[in-house]
Each structure stands twice: as structure tokens, then as C-alpha cells.
Chains A and B, each alone.
Chain A
Amino acid sequence: MTSRKNETIVQTRINGEAVEFRCEPRQTLLEVLRDTLGLTGVKEGCSNGNCGACNVIMDGVLVNSCLVLAVEAEGRAITTVEGLAGPGGLHPLQQSFLEHAALQCGICTPGFLVAAKALLDRNPHPTEHEVRYWLAGNLCRCTGYDKIVRAVLDAAEKMAA
């Protein structure tokens, strides 16, 4: 696959659906998800890999979409926060964030939710220590993190029940 400076077509799967988009090599996956595909649940925070607001899951691996080129998504499967809720309603993590008031301004929330989902997919019964380390790459400037950690632990418990 070679992409010149002008636009190229990328074929991918996003939240379970086949998606084709046009992009330039210089565009990040974050830019394309938000500006081209309208998936504005994915947030731009620092844009340099420090804050986690843009987290998506790519082929089962949690990544910062600000540090992924959109052309790299060719042939990959991507999950954004929009893919968490099912037809029956909110994902247990989303419900738990509401119940624990684990958000205030909400900018970091999609990144935390996607990161927490990636954790529970891998480790359904994390300890508090594991949750805190796993979420170290997600910054929240409102909550002080404690409610977020409680929400994730509670969701894990409810999902196991």
C-alpha cells in the first residue's frame, strides 16, 4: 500500500461495520474519526499521547488515535466509545460512570470508558491497583480519579454477576 500526499481510500471496520473513508497520509486517525466520520465521541485532548482522551481499540489493542495515522487503519478493526452501548442500552461501564458520578465536564470520559473496556476485556476482575495503573495514561482534571476507579471496579463486579 502506497499513499501519495494526495488523498487515498482506506477500508476498515468501525464499531462492527465496514467503513471506507478518504484521507491524506498526514491525517491522524483521530482527525478522520471526528471530522470525516462524525464520531465526535472520540475527543482531542493533548494530541501528543499524554492524556488518553482520544483512546480507541484497534484490533483489540488500546491506542491513542492521535498517534495513529488514518492510513494505518487499513484492514484494521476499530472500536470507539460509540460502539460501547448495545441495542439494549448503555454499556455497564457507562451505567456505572453515571451511578458513581465518575464524570464532571466529560471531555476525558470517552477515553476512560474505552480504556476501561479494554482492561475488562483482558482482565475481568482487576484489583484497584491494576485499574489505577491501567488508567495512568488517561488524564482527568475534574474528578480526582477516585470515582472513576470505583465505577470501573463496580462495573467489573456487575458484569461478572
Chain B
Amino acid sequence: MQAFDYVRAQSTEQAVALLAEAGDQARVLAGGTDLLAQMKEGRRKVALVVDIKFIPELNELCYDPAEGLWLGAAVPCYRIYGNPSVVHAYPGLVDAAALIGGVQVQGRASLGGNLCNASPAADSIPALIVHSALARIAGPAGRRDVAVEAFCTGPGRTVLGPGELLVALHLPPPKPGFGAAYLRFIPRNEMDIAVTGAGASVQLDGRGETIVAARVALGAVAPTPLYVKEAGAALVGRPVAEAAAAFDAAAEIARGAAQPIGDMRGTVAQRKHLSAVLTRRALHRALERGQTTLGGAEK
């Protein structure tokens, strides 16, 4: 690898100051599973590596049933699926965190890094979108929040400006009747990049009879992970008794929204087909999970 300076930042403010000073010659290191691979390939010219995973707030995983989940940008995947409260409350997120790379990668890779790397095929981004996640950003001008669906602006490109750093992701607390899922198609069982991925979430009313909100997001079918707002909107107010037909219709909306390229992983037609199939299956799984949270509710 090329020579560079390394700083283990102690605070968000220190990291922001270092990033602002070094400009585009600086890179943020969390788990390094993308950054080190890219630096070895010489794809990035880097003069300064700022290691952010020793900053307390970036390494914090904090779940409160009233406040939701604060997930520090450097928290590695294994801590997400290793936390029983998070597994219960954010099943779509856990689906994604448990299938990124193998266990060796999950021991280091963070969802903050997955988001900032901004791959169109990133597994965790559709999952974050269907969980209505917000990205909290710190920069020289202070802090701001951006919805995850608006964070990526192109392959490898994000809304982060000079000196800005992703601090944490915030996921709202799930209400009874909420379920979510993320599914990915790859040609093998593990350790591959999505041909297509789909996340879905469903919010049922207290009786479990009606869909009151839903979200759908796709991966690897556009220059960025794609929030398909219309697919979720089409499900609002639909009775659960007619969910199968409603999900078929939402899946067709997802197929229409997908704008994939054809490459070595899949053709345009295959990816559009997968967009519909995975959306339908993810919606069914999200519904089942939402129903289980209402198990003890009164009729």
C-alpha cells in the first residue's frame, strides 16, 4: 500500500477537524473492509487515514423502546445481530447485517461504512431505508440529519461535504404490528455481492387487520439504493386479508421502478424480475413478522 499517516481520533470534533484540514486526501477508517481493499488496489489516493472506531459515540449501540436505536457509525455487524433487543425490534436490519460478507467481515464491517461506501449493491442500505433510518452527520458547521434514502447520490458518492463525518444512524422505535425484512439474490448461499436485493417493512393497525404504512427499497438496480415510495404507498389502507394481491401489485411497482444495468452478475431482465420477486417475498416476511408482534393483542 501507498504510505499514509494514521490517526486514532479521540473525539468527533477531532475527526472533523482532521478531515476538514486534509480535504479529499483523507479517508475515514471504521472496519476497513472496503477502504483497505480499495487502497491496496490503488483506487484511492490517501494521505491520511482517520480511525474513528475509538470515538465513544461512534462505537455506541444504544436501544431504548421509547427512543429507538442509536447505532454508532463504526459499530460492527456482529454487535447488531448479537444484541437480542435489536434482533427483536429491527429484523430487517438484522437480516442485512448477518449476510454482509462472512463472519470475518462481520467482525469489522460497520453499517455506517456500508452507507458511506455508497455501493449501489450495499445490502444494509435498503434495510435501513425500510426501517426509516436517519443519518446523523457532524461537520465543521455543526450537525445535521439526512434520511438514509437521500444519503447516496451516485456510485461511491454521498451527501457528505468537506470535513463531514457520519456519526450515527438512528432508527425509530418499532410499534406493535411492525415487521421488516431484507432479502438478497446471489448465485450461492453466502459471501457474494447482490444481483438484486429488496427490503420491505409493514406497519399494521393494532388489530392486525389493515396495513397503515409500508416501505420498499431495492439494491443493485439503480446508481444508488432505491427507495420505491410508490410501492409502499400503494399498500396503505389495504386489508391484511387481501395482502397477497396487494403485495403482487406493489411488486409490479418495484419492477417498474428498477432501472438496472446488465453486467457479469445479472442481466437487466433478470434484475427487474428479481425486483418483483424479492419485493413480494420481503413484504410477506415483513407481514408475518409484524403479525407476531401482535400475538397477545385484544381482538
**Interface positions of A (Cβ within 8 A of B):** 1-5, 24-28, 47-50, 52, 55, 58, 61-64, 66-69, 71-72, 74, 115, 118-119, 133-134, 136-138
Contact = CB atoms under 8 A, between A and B. Distances in A.
Interface string B99-120: 0011111011000000000000
Interface in B84-131: 101-105, 107-108
B33 A67 contact: yes
Contact of B3 (A5, A28, A50): A5
Interface string B1-36: 111111110000000000000000000010111001
Contacts of B108: 61, 63-64, 67-68
Interface of B: 1-8, 29, 31-33, 36-37, 40-41, 49, 51, 76, 78, 101-105, 107-108, 189-191
Given A25-B3, A25-B6, A133-B190, A72 B51 contact: yes
26 contacts: A1-B8, A2-B5, A2-B8, A4-B5, A5-B3, A26-B3, A27-B1, A28-B36, A48-B37, A48-B40, A49-B36, A50-B191, A52-B104, A58-B107, A62-B103, A64-B33, A64-B108, A67-B108, A68-B32, A69-B49, A71-B6, A72-B32, A74-B8, A115-B104, A137-B102, A138-B102
A49 B29 CA distance: 16
A31 to B, nearest CB: 9
B6 A62 contact: no
Contacts of A134: 103
A80 to B, nearest CB: 14
Contacts of B189: 133, 136
Given A67-B108, A69-B36, A25 B5 contact: yes
A26 B40 CA distance: 10
A68 B40 CA distance: 12
A26 B37 contact: no
A26 B49 CA distance: 10
Which applies to chain A's interface (DSSP): helix, strand, loop or mixed?
A: mixed
Instruction: Choose among A47, A49, A68, A71 the residue with the greatest number of B CB atoms under 10 Å from its CB.
Output: A49
A133 B103 CA distance: 9
A68 B159 CA distance: 27
Contacts of B102: 52, 136-138
Nearest to B8: A1
Contact of B101 (A27, A49, A61, A119): A49
A111 B87 CA distance: 29
Given A49-B104, A137-B105, A67 B36 contact: yes
B78 A61 contact: yes
A115 B31 CA distance: 18
Contact of B190 (A49, A71, A136): A136
A59 to B, nearest CB: 10
A117 to B, nearest CB: 12
Contacts of A63: 104, 107-108
A61 B144 CA distance: 33
A72 to B, nearest CB: 7
Given A62-B103, A67-B37, A136-B189, A5 B5 contact: yes
Closest 9 CB pairs of A and B: A137-B102, A136-B190, A25-B6, A61-B107, A1-B8, A26-B1, A5-B3, A3-B6, A64-B104
Contact of B29 (A28, A69, A136): A69
Nearest to A4: B5
Given A61-B78, A69-B32, 13 more contacts: A2-B8, A3-B5, A4-B5, A25-B4, A50-B191, A52-B104, A61-B76, A62-B107, A64-B105, A68-B32, A74-B8, A136-B102, A137-B101
A49 B103 CA distance: 11
Contacts of A72: 32, 51
A1 B105 contact: no
Contacts of A1: 7-8
Contacts of B29: 69
A133 B41 CA distance: 28
A146 B223 CA distance: 40
Contacts of A119: 103
B176 to A, nearest CB: 31
